[in-house]
Each structure stands twice: as structure tokens, then as C-alpha cells.
A and B are shown apart, each in its own frame.
Chain A
């Protein structure tokens, strides 16, 4: 309410970053409608699977960012909370009497409660400090619990994991969730609900103090708040929503294995969140969408998808520490000044050659991979609808030339882009 009145409209990015924006329902309605309509646009079953995976990752990444972005706690073991929530849901699924007593859409709550319970135990000692100590404890606990998966076989199911059948739940208005589309709407409901709740959390006193403790824990202590307990509450809430993500995973895949809680999964969620941008609430959402697309769509095209995902992550960390969301928000002031048009041509002049150059580079990578790893005698490969022999010189020369020319032009036009950017960010004096 009062937030809006004296706000300086020329500083939208700062206002958003600092998080003093008022509560708006607009974006949530748009999100709800988009979630409803997506299956009509992407109708195939595999598209539904990809979207389900995307929304689960969104919930998990948002939960993770409650720690990293909002609370300033870097966790290397957060998959554990999602994983334990998911395993708990699998066991509930396999307990037929219990499972038949409530409808399936309720199940993620149990995942959340188990994730939260574990977070309360671990948080009791890990949130005493942030920084390196917290990171190391999270890593240790992550490894420990991942190791438990082969020790406590009754809960983690050993190497095979735990599988179950979601359709044994009490029918939900006659629906037994046999179809992928039913699961899609269940997942969509939960992603929307979780995102709204996590957003509201950031607007509560304890959510605001999480930011304060992140920025300056000592000062927060001299304002009456125990930095440790503020961290603890963030940690527990994050554990809850991670557990919800785990529960959604259980419903979607009907199996959980050690892979769901190992350190590699914890690393992926850190990567996803950072890629999207930790400084904005919606950052992890973008990160989850982009990463899932890279993971699913790109992995159909190339075995080296993880290499490209890693490169994308590296480029983001190095050149855009604000992540994709930060990159988008950088353009808000330009947009407000009405100077977006000025950027279009310089962008095209730099980004199109750069994209072509990068594709050329990818070709070189793929050819090297094929040259080294294809079965002996298999010299033929296909890239961008072109089939050629990877053991002849010509394709290498062409790919190298495309790379050099593309990146060369991008490099030449970059200063002009920089100039245009500076110009577009200056108020007044338009052409």
C-alpha cells in the first residue's frame, strides 16, 4: 500500500531487488492460466513429462533459493530434503490402508512434512553460522544421508530404490491419476501453490529478517533477532518445500533411488538456481525451465548435453552473476526510458554472429567427440541435417571457419553494442 506512493519510478530495478514491491495478483493469474493452457499447446506425452519435470524443478529451485538467495546460505546437500520427502511418500504409497484413506493430491504435504522434519534436526546445529561452516555441514550431511541409502535399506531400498503405484490412492473426484495429463494438473496445482506460499513467506517478518541476516547478521542481532534462529526458520521452510518437490517426484515417477539425494543432485539444484539468478524471486523459475529444456530436449540431440549445460552455467557465473533473471532485469530501466528500440540492431549485429560462432564451436566439439568415441570404422556423422565423414579434413575446416568468422564479427561489433547500451541507459537526449 504505502510502498507505492513515494516510490521513485525511475528506479524500478532497485525497487524490485530490494523487495519492497507490493503484493500483486496479476503475475499469479497469468501463471495459473499459462499452466492450464500449456497441455493444449504441447500435447504430446513426452511434452507433459518434460513439463512435469520442469515444475518439480521449479518447486525445488525456489525452495533452494529460500536458503541461497534470501538467506545467504550455500547448501551443497539440499537434495537430501527433497529425497527424504520423496522416499517417505513412496512408503506411504506402499502402505495401502493409509494410502487409500486420502486422495493423491494431498500426498506432497507428507513429503513436505518429512523434508521439514529432517531440516529441523539438521538445522538445529547447521544454522548456527552461515558461510563456509554451513556449506561444509550441508555437504557432510548430504554425503552422510546419501551413504545411508545402502545402509538403511528398509527406508531407502538399497540400489534398486523404492517403487510404488500412485493409483492406489483414494480416488479424487473419481480420478485415479492414470493419465499423464492428470498428473500434470496435480503438479501444476502444487507448483503454483508452493510458489505463492514461498513468495508470501518472503513478505513476512521472518522472511524479511532472512534478508537482513544475509546482509549483516551482526546488526540483526543488535535489533533483537537471533541470526541463528532466523536462519533456522528459513532452513526449515526450505526443507518443507524441498520435501514437497520430492513428493511430486514420487507421484510422477513412482520410484525413488539414491540418485534423488546424492551430492550430484544437490549440485544440479545449485546450478539451476544460480543459472536463473538468486537475486530475484522468479530467477529460479527461469533457471528450472531453461535447465530442464537443456536437459531433456538437448539430451535427445547430443550425448554431450551436460557439457553444454556446464558451459552455460560457467558463462552465466562469469559474465552475468545475476543469472538469467538479472540479465532480464538489467533491461527494465532501458524499457522504462523507451529506448529498447535502440538496442535491437546492435544486439542483432553481435548476438547473431556470436550464436553462429558458438554453433560452429559446438560442431567442432561434436566432431572431436565423434572422432574419438565412435565405433571403429564408423566415420559418418550428421550435424545440422548435414551428413559427412568426420575423418576427412573439409568438415573441420568449414566448422573452424564458421567459428572464427562468427566469433570474429561478434567481437568486432561488441564495442558498438556496449556504446548503444550505455546510451540506452542514459535518461533524456534521444535521437
Chain B
């Protein structure tokens, strides 16, 4: 079998005495669409933060394409082709929508810390940014400060700058949280479109989205993964139903 895109072994995280992530082993294959579900406070965002080195792990390893990420900083991990979005929108509010996307393209296009290129002169850069804006339907908003966008538009921009650099492992933390039905459908289509052929790891509460999108689902409860399987089998798993799905499904009705 080929090396998995992402492999977690014995991952643990404590904040003070509270152990939030309590030993996670998970392997996600190349081009797999993997959803992580679980009740609020289960540790889903914390897990994302551990993988992307926003927080240091207390124990355990994270491997990206077989390479151990221990000791790397977020920007180094990003350069290895892993890009993430945030549950709480994390953009550059004072810069224009276009500038937001263009900044997300700079490193990927090899500009590094260049002070001998002018951003306005690079066709590839500006056209690339416009192409992303087109994909996320924000071209009409191009020159507005990002902070002036509506909530749904900011979420779309969040996804836009996450995927702009062309990373092959994309992690999205609740991309549809707080959205209306039509907005959710729109974002789901967008995610399908932009993650074509890529590895996607996504935290999501909307079961419609999860079952429509994911190849496999992991259920995270109290810092532990209690099941990882295809949507059908997860849905049928009595453990999952007891711990989470039942409650969630009841809530929906």
C-alpha cells in the first residue's frame, strides 16, 4: 500500500490537567475525502491545531506523506503542501478580497521573501488570484476590504485562501457553520470542485454535507476516535449511534 497522505499515531494533547485529545491513531489515504464528526467540545478543532502545529502535541506523531512533522512550524508545514481553514474566520480583514487571495498565492508561486519582483507586474499571480476569486464567486467583491464581506462570503474567502496555494492536503474546519441551506449547498459544491483529486479532511456538523461528501468518516468523542468507516457503516454502527449520531439525528427532527 502506498504511504498515507496523513498518518496520526498515539496523538495526545492536554491543556493543564485536562486531557483533550486522548490518543488518536488515524490514517488517511491519498485523494481520500475524510470527514471528522463529533459533538461540540470533542476536540475536533484541537486535533486540527495539533496536526498543523498551531499547538504542540503532548505526545504522538503526525506524518505527512510519510514524513514526520515533529518540530516544524505552521509555515513549514504549509510549504510541504498542507493547508487549512479555520472554524472562526481567519482572513486579512483590512486588505481587499483580491489581496487576500494574492497573498495566499505568493509562496506557492515561489516568490518567497522577494523584494525584486513587483506584484502588479506578474500576470500569473494576478490572473491566478482572479481565477480563484472566480471559483469562489467573489469577483464582484474583488476590491472591497475583506472585513466588509457578509459572513457567508467571508467563509468562501476563507476556503479560497486555503486552497489558493494548491496544497494537496486540505483541512477545513466547519466550512458551512452558521450558513443557510442554499449557502451550504453552494459551499459544498465549491468544496467538491476545488478539492478534486486532493486529500480532504473536514470537520462538519451538517450530516447532509458529510454523507454527501465523505469517502470515510471518523467519529470523535471526548478526544477519542470511536469509529472510522464508510458513511453507511458509520451510520449503522451501534456504538456511534449511542454516543453521537442518535443524539444528533434526534436533534435534527
Could you say which residues of chain B place their CB within 8 Å of the CB of A211?
92, 94-95, 99
Shortest Cβ gap from B194 to chain A (Å): 16
> Which residues of A in the span 19-40 have a Cβ within 8 Å of any Cβ on B?
19-20, 22-23
- Best-buried of B94, B112, B114 by chain A (most CB within 10 Å): B94
Does B92 contact A216, Cβ atoms closer than 8 Å?
yes
Shortest Cβ gap from A349 to chain B (Å): 34
Does B126 contact A223, Cβ atoms closer than 8 Å?
no
Chain B: CB-nearest residue to A197: B115
Does A209 contact B103, Cβ atoms closer than 8 Å?
yes
Does B106 contact A205, Cβ atoms closer than 8 Å?
yes
Chain B: CB-nearest residue to A216: B92
A216 to B126, CA, bound (A): 22
Total contacting residues, chain A, CB less than 8 A: 41
With beta carbons under 8 angstroms apart, the residue of B52, B92, B113 that contacts A215 is B92
One of A6-14, A41-49, A165-173, A177-185 contacting the partner? A6-14
One of A56-64, A226-234, A318-326 contacting the partner? A226-234
Known: A14-B144, A209-B103, A224-B78. A2 touches B127 (CB 8 A): yes
Report B187-227 CB contacts with A as 1/0, cut-off 8 Å. 00000000000000000000000000000000000000000
Chain B: CB-nearest residue to A21: B120
Could you say which residues of chain B place their CB within 8 Å of the CB of A215?
92-95
Does B83 contact A204, Cβ atoms closer than 8 Å?
no
A206 to B115, CA, bound (A): 6
Could you say which residues of chain A place their CB within 8 Å of the CB of B108?
224
Does B143 contact A220, Cβ atoms closer than 8 Å?
no
Does B118 contact A206, Cβ atoms closer than 8 Å?
no
Shortest Cβ gap from B105 to chain A (Å): 9
Chain A: CB-nearest residue to B109: A205
Does B161 contact A20, Cβ atoms closer than 8 Å?
no
With beta carbons under 8 angstroms apart, the residue of A219, A224, A230 that contacts B91 is A219
Report B78-91 CB contacts with A as 1/0, cut-off 8 Å. 11000110000011
* Residue A371 is within 8 A (CB to CB) of chain B in the complex: no
Chain B: CB-nearest residue to A237: B115
Does B143 contact A7, Cβ atoms closer than 8 Å?
yes
Could you say which residues of chain A place their CB within 8 Å of the CB of B90?
216, 218-219, 222
Could you say which residues of chain A place their CB within 8 Å of the CB of B116?
204
Could you say which residues of chain B place their CB within 8 Å of the CB of A220?
75, 103
With beta carbons under 8 angstroms apart, the residue of A201, A205, A207 that contacts B112 is A205
* Residue B8 is within 8 A (CB to CB) of chain A in the complex: no
* Residue B42 is within 8 A (CB to CB) of chain A in the complex: no
Could you say which residues of chain B place their CB within 8 Å of the CB of A8?
143-144
Does A204 contact B96, Cβ atoms closer than 8 Å?
no
With beta carbons under 8 angstroms apart, the residue of A20, A209, A230 that contacts B98 is A20
Does B119 contact A222, Cβ atoms closer than 8 Å?
no
Chain A: CB-nearest residue to B77: A222
Does A19 contact B99, Cβ atoms closer than 8 Å?
yes
Does B74 contact A212, Cβ atoms closer than 8 Å?
no
Chain A: CB-nearest residue to B129: A2
Does B93 contact A208, Cβ atoms closer than 8 Å?
no
Known: A6-B143, A20-B96, A20-B98. A204 touches B91 (CB 8 A): no
Does B94 contact A3, Cβ atoms closer than 8 Å?
no
Could you say which residues of chain B place their CB within 8 Å of the CB of A205?
106, 111-115, 117, 119
* Residue A203 is within 8 A (CB to CB) of chain B in the complex: yes
With beta carbons under 8 angstroms apart, the residue of B74, B93, B118, B127 that contacts A222 is B74
* Residue B244 is within 8 A (CB to CB) of chain A in the complex: no
A19 to B118, CA, bound (A): 13
Chain B: CB-nearest residue to A18: B96
Could you say which residues of chain B place their CB within 8 Å of the CB of A22?
120
Does B114 contact A204, Cβ atoms closer than 8 Å?
yes
Could you say which residues of chain B place their CB within 8 Å of the CB of A224?
75, 78-79, 106-108, 165
Does B52 contact A212, Cβ atoms closer than 8 Å?
no
Could you say which residues of chain B place their CB within 8 Å of the CB of A11?
143-144
> Which residues of B in the span 142-159 have a Cβ within 8 Å of any Cβ on A?
142-145
Chain B: CB-nearest residue to A233: B113
Shortest Cβ gap from A408 to chain B (Å): 39
Does A223 contact B95, Cβ atoms closer than 8 Å?
no
Could you say which residues of chain B place their CB within 8 Å of the CB of A155?
none
* Residue A1 is within 8 A (CB to CB) of chain B in the complex: yes
With beta carbons under 8 angstroms apart, the residue of B74, B75, B95, B139 that contacts A6 is B139
A15 to B141, CA, bound (A): 12
Chain B: CB-nearest residue to A11: B143
Does B117 contact A219, Cβ atoms closer than 8 Å?
no
Could you say which residues of chain B place their CB within 8 Å of the CB of A218?
54, 74, 90
Could you say which residues of chain A place their CB within 8 Å of the CB of B91?
216, 219
Could you say which residues of chain A place their CB within 8 Å of the CB of B118?
23, 200, 203-204
* Residue A305 is within 8 A (CB to CB) of chain B in the complex: no
Could you say which residues of chain B place their CB within 8 Å of the CB of A419?
none
Does A14 contact B165, Cβ atoms closer than 8 Å?
no
With beta carbons under 8 angstroms apart, the residue of A15, A207, A222 that contacts B115 is A207
Shortest Cβ gap from A281 to chain B (Å): 14
Does A204 contact B95, Cβ atoms closer than 8 Å?
no
A219 to B142, CA, bound (A): 19
Chain B: CB-nearest residue to A205: B111
Could you say which residues of chain B place their CB within 8 Å of the CB of A237?
115
Could you say which residues of chain A place their CB within 8 Å of the CB of B83?
222-223
Could you say which residues of chain B place their CB within 8 Å of the CB of A6?
139, 142-143
> Which residues of A in the span 186-212 have a Cβ within 8 Å of any Cβ on B?
200-201, 203-209, 211-212
Does B115 contact A18, Cβ atoms closer than 8 Å?
no
* Residue B102 is within 8 A (CB to CB) of chain A in the complex: yes
Does A3 contact B75, Cβ atoms closer than 8 Å?
no
A20 to B96, CA, bound (A): 8
* Residue B14 is within 8 A (CB to CB) of chain A in the complex: no
A7 to B130, CA, bound (A): 13
Chain A: CB-nearest residue to B114: A205
* Residue B104 is within 8 A (CB to CB) of chain A in the complex: yes
Of all A-B residue pairs in the complex, the 5 with the closest CB atoms, nearest first, are: A224-B107, A205-B111, A18-B96, A221-B74, A215-B92
7 residue pairs of the A-B complex, CB under 8 angstroms, read A1-B123, A19-B95, A205-B114, A205-B115, A206-B115, A211-B92, A225-B107
Query: Given A11-B144, A226-B75, list of 13 further CB < 8 A pairs?
Result: A1-B121, A1-B123, A6-B139, A7-B143, A8-B144, A203-B118, A205-B117, A208-B106, A208-B119, A215-B92, A215-B95, A223-B83, A225-B75
